[in-house]
Amino acid sequence: MNKNEQHIKNIFEIDEWKLIETKIHETENDFLIGESLTSLGNGLMGSRGNFEEGYSGKTHKGVYNGGVWFPDKTKVGWWKNGYPEYFGKAINSLNFLELEIKIDNVKLDLFIQKPTSFLRELDMKNGILSRKFTTLISDIKIDVYTERFLSIHNPEMVYIKYSIKPDKDCNIEIKSILNGDVHNLDSNHGEMFWDSVSSTKDETNTFVAIKTKPNNFGVERFVVAGAMNNEVNIKHEKKIEVKPLVGTEILKIFVKANENCTLIKKIAILSSRNHEKSKIKKIALDKLEKSDDYEKAKELHFAKWNKRWENGDISIEGDAKSQQGIRFSLFQLFSTYYGEDSKLNIGPKGFTGEKYGGATYWDTEAYCLPVYLSTAPSYVAKNLLLYRYDQLKQAKHNARQQGLDGALFPMVTFNGVECHNEWEITFEEIHRNGIMAYAIYNYINYTGDEEYLKTNGIEVLIELSKFWASRVHYSKAKKMYMIHGVTGPNEFENNVNNNWYTNTISKWTLEYTLKSLKKLKITDEIQLKKYELTKKDLIKWEEIQKNMYLPYSEEKKIFVQHDTFLDKDMMRVDQLKARDRPIVNNWSWDKILRSVFIKQADVLQGMYLFQENYTKDELKKNYEFYEQFTVHESSLSSCIHSILAAKLGKIDDAVKFYLRAARLDLDNYNDDTKDGLHITSMAGSWMSIIEGFGGMRVIDGILNFSPTIPKIWKSLSFNILFRKNLIKMQITNKEIKITNTKGENIKIKLFNEDVLLEKTFTKII
């Protein structure tokens, strides 16, 4: 371990399919890390790995519903024109996990009754979380076994099983709770986001509905409703108590020594995103009533997870750490989003924490889209594009807020309107608009769906180009177009001039839009008018793109991150002291901004996107120059470095950066896993393997591979969905086997040579 990485440790054991924890980690940080890592989700909702029975040590309770959020008023002393009026927050929602358990009147709390044995397992193959522990409560020894899953077969259903076996006769009381009295850790002064709608009961079931508080911004109020039922296998008394926000089923059971008392808690969770508010109660209770029993539901849930793995698994033989890392990444990514609900998107923390507001970032287009293009039917990637298309009106509003033309897609959003209120991000991190155009290109290039350009893509491209044309200015001194006052992908610098990445991607957007207009024959004044364009606009765009200023150092033969980057104190990362890392936690913001340290790939991000435009030598010079200053304190960084390192044959670097991407949370690299997981960067782990070690690129619509794997990996296998084909790659250090498992014959390229892939093609290397 490098001296700068002393906080890195595994709190879970290395296993290819599981996360296994054999003791309760009592330090606050480790306990919270454990809660984050054992989060579960089913695309519609999710929860952190909180213990059902509660824990009086430090815990971060988290249960979230996709797309349910609250607009929190932006309050700043010095208001600046253009600030978003509110900050969008992913909010803690109706908590379905809670159980309060008393054994002979003493409350079970593992912070107090330390277990003598403990096992927590997250089984990623089947999508289930379980615990097994033994503890002494008064003088009664209890063995407990718990399981829970959020069904992916029936995504509005949650199932919990909780078994207690005491070694003496005793009275057990279980309070099973549906709790809407919940708060965010990051809320101001414990502010509450929910009002009660109704809490009711019948003979056997409990119903609780809550509604987000009114707001002044015209943002819809969401209703979340839960219907719950609890059954125990032993004769018991059941009483239901309801009050505003909370419903509780109280079960009293006399349990004989060594008898297993098993509770099954079933909960249907619905929201007004998918159901009419007036009908939600009936639908929730019906859903609960008609739901499968525990074992059947579990079987269906397992089968669906297994199917997901059949298509999407990446298998690495010979390196369990790497294997666990990629499976964990895919598990958490697919738990957050599997493309089933086109109105949802992928929040950087998914359902595992509150930080980042849980909304949509540029991460989706830059990192997640490639994964879904290759692992899911093409409508999933298309839905991700349509999500933005549907928000074009709001993006135009965002541009207007900044006094600019066209559309500015938000840095952070739930509904298309910018809802992030740091000026250096909202006003300045405009490179985000570039990846929106790139995503359209990427989707069409990958799927061959040219029709999309005509139906939706072109409209977006035009608005993006209008934006860039109004954001650039002409420098008479240099006789070039420039973009001043921006934040590039490297958020450790703000208000820089001519960020190479931003200028490059805006130039490319203008170029791609012009090409697309030509392709669609939208060139005469009548056609252009439909898009509020004239020929003059196109001439201007051409002039800007041809004369865009791109900082370059002749001396170093590198692209320069921005105008004054090379004037900084060029201290290298290896000169930093261990106590300084991560610098975001240990340095003042002022010191960070002045430093040369790069949070995440910036110039290299651009070179990664447009790889075909650069020679290997250019790539090498830039990689070697920027790598020495990059601290990778964004989860989006190391995967890009890993892909470029693999391309340059720097295989040790490629592995190091792959592990950092894939095990970022498992090993707590950036000392922030406690806040939740880095979901969007999990897509980066997939990219490192497929695009890095697999060397996959789609160039002019042709699938290319240039595989290279580390010596310690015995083999690497993965599947790629490409148009109508399902292609299986099996790579060892001796041979490459490519199997066309579904679809017609297809022409691909292997190490730049044409290959007609009929059925199985094997290359000995």
Residue pair 502/437 in contact (Cβ under 8 Å)? The answer is: no
Quick one: 49 or 489, whose CB is closer to ligand BGC?
489
Residue pair 396/464 in contact (Cβ under 8 Å)? The answer is: no
Alpha helices (H) in 17-168, listed in sequence order:
28-37
Binding mask 530-559 for ligand BGC (x = CB under 6 A): ------------------------------
Token pair, residue 229, equals: 């039922």
**Cα distance between residue 50 and residue 42, in whole Å:** 17
Quick one: 394 or 600, whose CB is closer to ligand BGC?
600
Residue pair 349/677 in contact (Cβ under 8 Å)? The answer is: yes
As measured in angstroms, the least distance from the Cβ of 729 to ligand BGC is 29
Quick one: 419 or 757, whose CB is closer to ligand BGC?
419
Sign of the C-alpha dihedral computed for residues 566, 367, 402 and 522 taken in this order:
positive
Quick one: 481 or 626, whose CB is closer to ligand BGC?
626
**Cα distance between residue 703 and residue 392, in whole Å:** 31
* DSSP E strand boundaries for 138-235: 140-150, 157-166, 170-179, 194-201, 205-212, 223-232
Residue pair 497/482 in contact (Cβ under 8 Å)? The answer is: yes
Quick one: 494 or 634, whose CB is closer to ligand BGC?
634
As measured in angstroms, the least distance from the Cβ of 629 to ligand BGC is 16
**Cα distance between residue 28 and residue 45, in whole Å:** 26
Helices (H) and strands (E) counted in the chain, each on its own, are 22, 32
Binding mask 675-694 for ligand BGC (x = CB under 6 A): -----x--------------
Residue nearest to ligand BGC (CB): 348
As measured in angstroms, the least distance from the Cβ of 362 to ligand BGC is 6
As measured in angstroms, the least distance from the Cβ of 613 to ligand BGC is 23
Binding mask 448-487 for ligand BGC (x = CB under 6 A): ----------------------------------------
As measured in angstroms, the least distance from the Cβ of 26 to ligand BGC is 29
List 345, 634, 708, 719, residue binding ligand BGC (CB under 6 A): 634
As measured in angstroms, the least distance from the Cβ of 660 to ligand BGC is 15
Quick one: 264 or 640, whose CB is closer to ligand BGC?
640
Quick one: 165 or 355, whose CB is closer to ligand BGC?
355
Pairing of β 702-705 and β 746-750: parallel
Quick one: 37 or 368, whose CB is closer to ligand BGC?
368
Burial class (CB in 10 A: 0-12, 13-18, 19+), 62: buried
Quick one: 401 or 413, whose CB is closer to ligand BGC?
413
Total chain residues near ligand BGC (CB under 6 A): 12
Of 349, 344, 384, 360, the closest CA to residue 44 belongs to: 344
Residue pair 367/355 in contact (Cβ under 8 Å)? The answer is: no
**Cα distance between residue 42 and residue 381, in whole Å:** 18
> What is the residue whose two structure tokens read 């840095």?
411
As measured in angstroms, the least distance from the Cβ of 684 to ligand BGC is 10
Residue pair 433/467 in contact (Cβ under 8 Å)? The answer is: yes
Show contacts with ligand BGC in window 8-27 (CB under 6 A). Answer: none
Q: Tell me the C-alpha to C-alpha distance, in Å, between residue 405 and each of 42, 190, 221.
A: 39, 40, 31
3-state secondary structure of 99: strand
Q: Does 491 bind ligand BGC (CB under 6 A)?
A: yes
Count of C-beta atoms within a 10 Å radius of residue 479 = 9
Bridge partners (DSSP) listed for residue 32? none
Quick one: 421 or 634, whose CB is closer to ligand BGC?
634
Burial class (CB in 10 A: 0-12, 13-18, 19+), 600: buried
Q: Could you give the angle at the alpha carbon of 341 between the alpha carbons of 338 and 346, nearest 5°?
A: 55
As measured in angstroms, the least distance from the Cβ of 489 to ligand BGC is 6
As measured in angstroms, the least distance from the Cβ of 636 to ligand BGC is 5
Show contacts with ligand BGC in window 315-354 (CB under 6 A). Answer: 348
Q: Does 500 bind ligand BGC (CB under 6 A)?
A: no
Quick one: 378 or 681, whose CB is closer to ligand BGC?
681
> What is the residue whose two structure tokens read 């541009």?
399
**Cα distance between residue 513 and residue 464, in whole Å:** 9
Residue pair 663/669 in contact (Cβ under 8 Å)? The answer is: yes
As measured in angstroms, the least distance from the Cβ of 414 to ligand BGC is 14
Q: Tell me the C-alpha to C-alpha distance, in Å, between residue 457 and each of 222, 390, 517.
A: 31, 11, 11
**Cα distance between residue 322 and residue 303, in whole Å:** 25
310 counts as catalytic:
no
Residue pair 682/688 in contact (Cβ under 8 Å)? The answer is: no
List 600, 605, 670, 719, residue binding ligand BGC (CB under 6 A): 600
Q: Does 669 bind ligand BGC (CB under 6 A)?
A: no
Show contacts with ligand BGC in window 263-302 (CB under 6 A). Answer: none
Residue pair 97/55 in contact (Cβ under 8 Å)? The answer is: no
* DSSP assigned state of 95: B
User: Looking at 491, 493, 511, 627, which residue is catalytic?
Assistant: 491
Show contacts with ligand BGC in window 347-386 (CB under 6 A). Answer: 348, 356, 361-363
Show contacts with ligand BGC in window 118-157 (CB under 6 A). Answer: none
As measured in angstroms, the least distance from the Cβ of 507 to ligand BGC is 21
**Cα distance between residue 141 and residue 116, in whole Å:** 10
Q: Which residues are catalytic?
A: 491
What residue ranges bind ligand BGC (CB under 6 A)?
A: 348, 356, 361-363, 489, 491, 599-600, 634, 636, 680
